[in-house]
Structure 1
Amino acid sequence: MVAGQPEQKRIVILTRDGPEHRYVANMLCAGLAIDRIIVDRSARRTRLRRAVRKGLVHFLGKATRAVFLKMIRDDEARTRSLESLLGQKAQTFYASDRIVYVEGINGTASLEVLRQRRPDAILSYGTSVVKDAVLDSATDICINLHTGISPQYRGTACSFWPVVNDELDMLGATIHECTSGVDSGPIFETVHSRYEPGDDLHRIFGRAVMVGAEAYVRVVQRYVAGTLSGVSQDLSLGREYRGADLTIGPELVARRRLARLRSIAEISIIGQNDR
């Protein structure tokens, strides 16, 4: 538990530069006094070696998914869906005077900013795994927003896998202490998001971002007030999903499930109109 009298805290955000990252950072800045926002602009690395270790069939499944997503211009669809759903807050960082761009969240430049600012708390969202050198830069605590329901869904693409597994009740976000483990620290708040008829995979993710950002502000406000407490995770529940698990098979399963849900919704609307 983090306890004590409310006091001014120096808070630094670690994030990236996509629509969802800008939205979360802007929500945090609107509700809290943020000292700096460290934005990682480095290119994400593809874990081909891990996919190869899983065998040729798995590697081909991952490569086929990459080709499929490129053919359907999924990156463009993702940006359109997120910017449409998240609105103006996803367009640009509002606190441009507090932005520091770096190449690698665990790199020398990031560590130097943290050394200079000496934050009480570090808030992370959407970065690569934060290493101990960065975590140790916070004098009080590091907190993370995970767009998935932990501990059942930990790791990568945790608004995607509930669709694959036909568990739409497991969509949402978890605010937890950021540790060197993947989405494994004590939980401060869990919130669920809703699937809305017609949602694609990206809007489903965006809804988790929206409820997660609201919860993130509440959690950090409790930290500042000295009333924050968390609950340890039972990591025997659920599993950790990795980028190497994203192959063409699950991708097609998820898209077929959503297509079927859209068809059911359309049939229902037609039936209501015919009454």
Structure 2
Amino acid sequence: MDAGNRERLERGSAAVVVLAGPGLIPAILVNALATAFPGRVTVIEETPLSPFALARRRARRLGWIAALGQLATSIVSRLTKTFAQARSQAILSAYGHAAERNRDVPVIRVRSVNDDATHEAIARLQPAAVLTVACRLLTKKTLSRIPCPIINFHGGINPAYRGQMGGYWALAAGDRDNFGCTIHLVDSGVDTGATLYDVRLQPDPADTMATYPLLLAAAGAEKTVQAVQDALSGTLKPFEPARPSRMHYPPTLWRWLWNGLSRGVW
């Protein structure tokens, strides 16, 4: 930690930067941080890729059949959120979260968290801790421009449920004891950084793929704040879970239907 950050920590004014996409999940975590560290949180918000751009990117890795199947599931999931509004509100109420992001938190909008505009903002803000949530993976260049701990909120238990839709895949695998989220350090891999905290819980029968991410963010907000506090105080205690590591992607539409019909996991 450089002398400037150490001095800001001592007088309680060290900056916390959140690299995020738009949406409800980042809003929950930003609000929690803003409550814990008033006047010290800044959001750098990127423009998310369109579903079709994501499909093209996944097609290069997984092939077009899988990518289009995942796109179809994404479209269906968005439609089902309309029917999940009551459950979503119940989750927010149960954990004491608001759906709207705190308007007092400054927001810097960029095309991508890996753009030069982001690097310039980081250099200007000189954060003592950075949280990433629902944004692009950080490139090696971006990682090199952030001279402080980088923490990620992940909606799955690492390393067994790395990647996307970790909570959903735990349920689909019958591994209900590992339905949860992980707060971990960021490295150059995909959810491969050392774990700081993980939070396990049991979903409500009314929960589906439309509400799993919200439930995990609501339940994991407290430990996310704690991880950032640990970073600010220099007391981070990362550890490596002794579990198999596996990468996951969103389910294709046919896999989602199969898991729903055969296992009751929607």
Distance 1:64 1:120, change over 3 A: closer
Please list, as runs of the form range in 1=range in 2, the aligned pairs for 1:72-87 lying within 5 A after superposition. Answer: 73-77=79-83, 81-86=87-92
1:149 to 148, 157, 161: 157
**Residue matched to 2:3:** none
- 2:197, 2:157 → 1: CA distance? 10
Aligned counterpart in structure 2 of residue 204 of structure 1, from 205, 212, 216: 212
- For 1:102, the equivalent position in structure 2 comes to 110
Displacement after TM superposition at 1:53 (Å): 6.2
Residues 167-200 of structure 1: CA deviation (Å, up to 9, x unaligned): 2221111111011211011111111121112222
Q: CA deviation at 1:42?
A: 3.2
CA RMSD of aligned residues (A): 3.0
SS class of match (1:36): strand
Identity of aligned residues (%): 23
Letter in 1 for 2:228: V
Matched with 2:193 is 185
- Out of 21, 25, 41, which is 1:20 matched to? 25
1:239 maps to amino acid: R
Answer whether contact 1:11 1:121 (CA < 8 A) is retained: yes
The reply to whether residue 121 of structure 1 matches residue 129 of structure 2 is yes
Q: Counterpart of 1:104 in structure 2: which amino acid? A: S
**Partners of 1:74 and 1:240 in 2: CA distance:** 25
Q: TM-score under structure 1 normalisation? A: 0.79
Distance 1:192 1:183 in 2: 17
CA pair 63-152 structure 1, distance change in 2 beyond 3 A = closer
- 1:32-51 to 2 correspondence within 5 Å? 32-33=37-38, 34-44=40-50, 45-48=53-56, 50-51=58-59
The CA distance in 2 between the partners of 1:116 and 1:135, in whole Å, is 16
- Aligned in 2, Cα 1:57/1:113: closer, same or farther, shift over 3 Å? closer
Aligned-pair CA distance for 1:14: 0.8
Matched, 1:216 2:227: no
CA distance in 2, matches of 1:57, 1:168: 29
Cα distance between partner residues in 1 of 2:49 and 2:61:
23
Separation in structure 2 between the aligned mates of residue 144 and residue 65 of structure 1, nearest angstrom? 25
- Give the number of equivalent residue pairs: 253
Deviations 1:199-245 (Å, cap 9, x if unpaired)?
222223222111211110111122222221111355x71311134xx
1:148/1:173 contact within 8 Å kept:
yes
* 1:138/1:17 CA distance change after superposition, 3 Å: same
Give 1:41 deviation, angstroms: 2.5
SS at match of 1:179: coil
Q: Sort the Cα spacing of 1:172 and 1:189 in 2 relative to 1 into closer, same or farther, 3 A.
A: same
Q: Deviations over 1:115-148 (max 9, x none)?
A: 2112222111111101223222332211111110
- The answer (yes or no) to whether the contact 1:37–1:99 under 8 Å persists in 2 is yes
* Partner of residue 246 from structure 2, selected from 230, 239, 242: 239
Higher Rg: 1
TM-score (ref. length: structure 2): 0.82
Q: Distance in 2 between matches of 1:92 and 1:82?
A: 13
2:16 is the counterpart of 1:11: yes
Contact 1:129–1:182 (8 Å) recurs in 2: yes
Separation (CA, whole Å) in 1 of partners of 2:56 and 2:15: 39
